[in-house]
Amino acid sequence: MRLALWTAVRGLRARAGALALTVLAVALATATALTVPLISRQVERGAQDAAQVFDLLIAAPGSATQALTSSLFYLDTPTGNISETLYEELRDSPGTRRAVPIGLGDNYAGLPIVGTNAAFFDQRIKPKDPPYFRVARGRIFTAEHQIVAGARAAREGSLTLGSTFRGSHGLESRDGEETGAADHHNELYTVVGILAPTGGPVDRALLTPIETVWETHGQDTPDQRQVTAVLYAADQLAGVYVTAQRINAGREAMAVFPGQVFAQGRDVLAQGQAAYAGLSLLVLGIAALTVWLGVHSASVERQQTVALLRALGAGRSSVFGLVLGETLITVTLGVTLGLVLALLLSGVGGTLLGERLGFTLAPPQLTWALAVRALALIPLGLLAALAPAIAAARLSPLRHL
């Protein structure tokens, strides 16, 4: 057996070019089968992490997904506005732990200016946990037109403590267009604090008192004032459901459970992943066929080696093991390289996608279910090599010596 293994290694070294092509084919098939599922899991985990500090999102009626992507991730146009009166009712309702207003409508250099209040900085994953958002430098705003910048917003906007700027109308900047004076607000914003990075969408936000948004947009009286959404948390889980039912029974607003929205998105994503899994199996099958072609093409070159081994006393089982050993080494190298390649691609892809989405994605996490999908190539490869191995074991040494 040791002789067969040594011969297999020597044979692969002699066919280094063909070996490299086969290993590359197996590696690419493995990476193809794993990269998209790995990135999908990163996005799912990152989105859930960003919504874990509150129980309920209350926004104007419309698409629940749009409400979440606009008011939580700052990636979409809000579904509308709700009145300040409704926000105050939620804030003052018995059983309310926290009701945080969100006001959108302006930006600076493409970074969203988000109106809120001091309760925003008291959000916690669990009641006894420290605040989720921590000021790394400076302080929390105490007056209108003061800004607490997210870590990424400070970096991308070249903002430091004491920096001033003017906001622009709209939720994003107009690339390639001159921004006229009419597009700017006259009031200067001043940076008084910079948050520690969280990896969430707030990293690219510019937080200011909600009163700034009202004053900037001419909402001077209580009946004019509006908020884009409210991030709501209750003392008890039952209070969350009672509030959601009460809000959804009316017409002014809707209550959105982030977990339900993510579950719906996961269901849609699962359908796409099921189709992708079928495609992955096809790719893995093609890789197995490539292995078979490699083994079959090498069988002609291997005939003299096999005949010599048989003449030296090697049995049919040793020759059979020689062919399977070469295949096992080839496929294992390809799968290993493919796993590394998939992790690298999903890591880079997750970083780029996170930059696009505005929140940091967790490193790719290879689960057993995904690993088994890749490791299935090893028995497939051995199965593809079974026929050439049997043929080699039956070869007569007298024909090639």
- Range list of β-strands (E), 287-346: none
Task: Summarize the confidence of residues 214-219 as an average pLDDT.
Answer: 89
5-40 residue pLDDT tens: 555 565 556 566 667 877 888 888 888 878 878 877
On whether the CB atoms of residues 382 and 291 are closer than 8 A, the answer is: no
Does residue 318 carry a pLDDT above 90?
Answer: no
Mean pLDDT, residues 223-234 taken together? 93
DSSP 268-298: HHHHHHHHHHHHHHHHHHHHHHHHHHHHHHH
What is the span of the domain harbouring residue 165?
Answer: 56-256
Q: Which amino acid, residue 198?
A: T
**What's the number of domains the chain is made of?**
2
- Residue 187: what pLDDT? 83
| Closest C-alpha to 383, from 306, 331, 344 | 331
In the structure, what pLDDT confidence band is assigned to residue 270 with cuts at 50, 70 and 90?
Answer: low
- Closest C-alpha to 324, from 305, 304, 299: 299
Percent of the chain with pLDDT over 70: 73
Same-domain status, 16 and 121: no
Helix, strand or coil for residue 143?
Answer: coil
- In this prediction, residue 114 has a pLDDT band, given cuts at 50, 70 and 90, of very high
How far is it, in rounded angstroms, from Cα 123 to Cα 112? 20
Residue 375 contacts residue 335 (beta carbons within 8 Å): yes
Question: Tokens 């028995």 map to which residue?
Answer: 379
Most confident of 20-29, 186-195, 267-276: 186-195
Question: What is the structure's pLDDT at 136?
Answer: 95
Is there a single domain that holds both residue 354 and residue 277? yes
Query: Do 41 and 74 have their domain in common?
Result: no
Distance CA 93, CA 42 (A): 37
DSSP state of 229: E
339 and 299 in one domain? yes
The highest-confidence range among 169-178, 261-270, 346-355, by mean pLDDT, is 346-355
Q: Clarify whether residues 217 and 289 are in a common domain.
A: no
Tell whether 185 and 69 lie within a shared domain. Answer: yes
The Cα diameter of the chain in Å comes to 103
Output the pLDDT for position 190: 96
In the predicted model, is pLDDT for residue 307 greater than 80? no
56-112 pLDDT tens trace: 999 999 999 899 889 988 888 999 999 999 999 999 999 999 999 999 989 999 899
Predicted TM-score (pTM) of the model is 0.71
The residue out of 216, 240, 256 marking a domain boundary is: 256
Could you tell me if 104 and 112 are in contact, meaning their C-beta atoms sit under 8 angstroms apart?
A: yes
Long-range pairs for 130-139: beta carbons < 8 A, 24 or more residues apart = 132/53, 132/198, 133/195, 133/196, 133/198, 133/202, 134/195, 134/196, 135/193, 135/194, 135/195, 135/196, 136/194, 136/195, 136/196, 137/161, 137/193, 137/194, 138/191, 138/192, 138/193, 138/194, 139/192, 139/193
3-state secondary structure of 333: helix
| pLDDT confidence tier of residue 117, bands split at 50, 70 and 90 | very high
Round the average pLDDT of the chain to a whole number and report it.
Answer: 80
Supply the pLDDT for residue 242.
93
d(CA 288, CA 379): 9
150 and 104 in a common domain: yes
Rg (CA), the chain: 31
Domain check: are 208 and 277 in the same one?
no
Same domain, 39 and 116: no
pLDDT higher than threshold 50 for residue 245: yes
Tell me what the mean pLDDT of segment 324-347 comes to. Answer: 85
pLDDT digits (tens, 9 = 90+) for 167-185: 888 766 554 444 444 466 6
pLDDT at residue 316 greater than cutoff 80:
no
Consecutive H or E run containing 102 = strand 96-108
**Last residue of some domain: 202, 235, 256?**
256
Least confident range of 206-215, 330-339, 359-368:
359-368
* Number of other CB atoms surrounding residue 323 within 10 Å: 27
Do residue 157 and residue 247 come from a single domain? Answer: yes
Contact 205, 112 (CB under 8 A): yes
* 200 and 268 co-located in one domain: no
Domain end point (choices 256, 291, 316): 256
Domain check: are 24 and 173 in the same one? Answer: no
Compute the average pLDDT of residues 192-204: 91
CB 110 within 8 A of CB 165: no
